[in-house]
Amino acid sequence: MIILHRPFIIHSPEMVSKIIKKRSPPRSIKRHHQRKTSPTKKNASLSVIASFNKSIKTCRRRIVRLFSKLVNIATTPSTARKRFRRGYKTLHQEEELPEFESNFIVPKALVFDQCLLPPLVSTTKKTIFLDLDETLVHSSPDPAPKTYDFAVTPSIDGQIMNFYVLKRPGVDFFLEEISKKREVVVFTAGLKQYASQVLDKLDPKGIFISHRLYRDSCKEVSGKFVKDLSGMGRDLSRIVIVDDNPNAYSLQPENAVPIRPFVADSEDRELEKLLQFFEWSEQFEDMRAAVKQCFNGGGTVGGGSADDHGFVQLKL
């Protein structure tokens, strides 16, 4: 015996077809469910998103770098920026370290900012500082003298001036010979505008004179220009200054070789005698000892007096 919980209704074929038609989904819904995304379009959209993310990361990195550079520039000390603009400088210790640290980590070095010359290329060479006017040449302004070797026309305080230069006898040979074994530095109290043109005539190829120092490198003491050799970065025992003016070497007279001022003497032979002195002084490790013997009432020179070798002891 079969018991039915619900009434069993038998429909006619017409009714069944109507019911099926009502329950069937619309065409638009059918088409929506049947539509599928192509793999090509899916990959293209993924690549666009990836490239966009990559661009964002790149921009972020660049912005970080830019701000880092701006911070570094803003925090750089002014003294450090100035240090890069100057030439011939050595590193030095900015802050004082404890004694035990400075001995083992960073030994104190010469602060080259205060030196007027770059480091010596050859440590075996000695250095000679030569004056210019009345030592190597004699110059006179207008009117032009009867005898002169060349003329220079520097601009001083906005005004063109004429200087007529007479070379000391033997100056060309002297510069060539003295520069073979020694470092030659011309140290003049003259203005750079004038002196640089004269030196260009004396050494046009720049092979004899290693360095040039002008008035701005002098010290003014009691209204006089003094040439201080202690600020050159050279060992004082291995340098000599040749000058006709005693005021110029008043700070280091023990390093000075005095010479008679040159004006217009065509028979002048002081540079020849000076070459003899430097040849003889090669036996001395300390040039001050050689200067003392020859020019400050010293002893003998090569077994005889200074006069035996033709040296002139000038007492100005």
Catalytic residue among 113, 131, 228, 307: 131
Other beta carbons less than 10 A from residue 282's beta carbon: 12
Task: Decide: 237 and 290 in contact? Cβ < 8 Å.
Answer: no
- In three-state secondary structure terms, 100 is helix
Other beta carbons less than 10 A from residue 174's beta carbon: 21
- DSSP element (H, E) containing 212: strand 211-213
- DSSP element (H, E) containing 129: strand 126-130
Rg (CA), the chain: 45
Q: How far apart are CA 116 and CA 279, in angstroms?
A: 27
Other beta carbons less than 10 A from residue 243's beta carbon: 23
203 is catalytic: no
Q: How far apart are CA 70 and CA 58, in angstroms?
A: 19
Task: Decide: 212 and 199 in contact? Cβ < 8 Å.
Answer: yes
- In three-state secondary structure terms, 188 is coil
Q: How many CA atoms does the CB half-sphere of 11 hold within 13 Å?
A: 8
Catalytic residue among 133, 157, 172, 200: 133
Alpha-carbon distances of 160 from 131, 139, 148, 151, 163, rounded to whole Å: 24, 16, 19, 12, 10
Written as one letter, the residue type at 114 is Q
- DSSP element (H, E) containing 58: helix 39-75
Q: How far apart are CA 269 and CA 272, in angstroms?
A: 5
131 is catalytic: yes
Q: How far apart are CA 231 and CA 212, in angstroms?
A: 15
Catalytic residues: 131, 133
